[in-house]
Structure 1
């Protein structure tokens, strides 16, 4: 199944697979139907989830509060919501950035 971005009225949802305790924070390509995200944070006390939100917000140039993990809080496979208005140009630029990670 290929990687997809779901459009919702209040934002975009996509799947990620997190690899905690990596040597550096990076988008490492696609893993099945999800983006693989390497994080230096350990999977303890919600540290990896927090680091994931901050990392993705920085890459997407959105506020930290605009990125939320909606499912998979205790596992490696997660769904992430990026809040953005439906008819804003911001949504298209976010989708473009996310899809550029898929092609690398």
Structure 2
């Protein structure tokens, strides 16, 4: 499964804040990260947060695109239906 996220680094705390509407009309999960965007720290924090939040091992979450961008595509290895349900639950809490 591919999950598009929009990252805001150097936030007060790490967590999802809802959905971000992109200029082209697509949506991305808005995620704030306490880590700074230096030396891959924010990318590592994003992978760690996504794995913990979605109940996946860290190796099951990889950044497919957007290493140096705020807009990133994460590849999530696992059952798509289960992951979709977990993401929907996350959005209800945000």
TM-score normalised by structure 1 residue count: 0.79
Q: What residue is the counterpart of 2:4 in the other structure?
A: 15
Could you tell me how far apart the structure 2 residues matched to 1:101 and 1:58 are? 12
Q: 1:48 aligns with which of 39, 42, 63?
A: 42
> CA RMSD for the aligned pairs?
1.2
Deviations 1:47-87 (A, max 9, x none): 00000000000001110010011001001001011012xxx
* Partner Cα distance (1:74, 1:19) in 2: 12
Q: Using the alignment, how far apart are the partners of 1:35 and 1:94 within structure 2?
A: 14
Dislocated runs of 4+, deviation >4 Å = none
Unaligned runs of 5+ in 2: 22-26
Partner-residue secondary structure (3-state), 1:16: strand
State the alpha-carbon separation in 1 of the partners of residues 29 and 90 from structure 2. Answer: 8
Tell me the CA shift for residue 102 of structure 1: 3.5
Instruction: Please name the residue that 2:19 is paired with.
Output: 30
Give 1:99 shift: 2.0
SS of 2:39's partner is coil
In structure 2, how many angstroms separate the alpha carbons of the residues matched to 1:61 and 1:101?
12
TM-score normalised per structure 2: 0.87
> How many aligned positions are there?
88
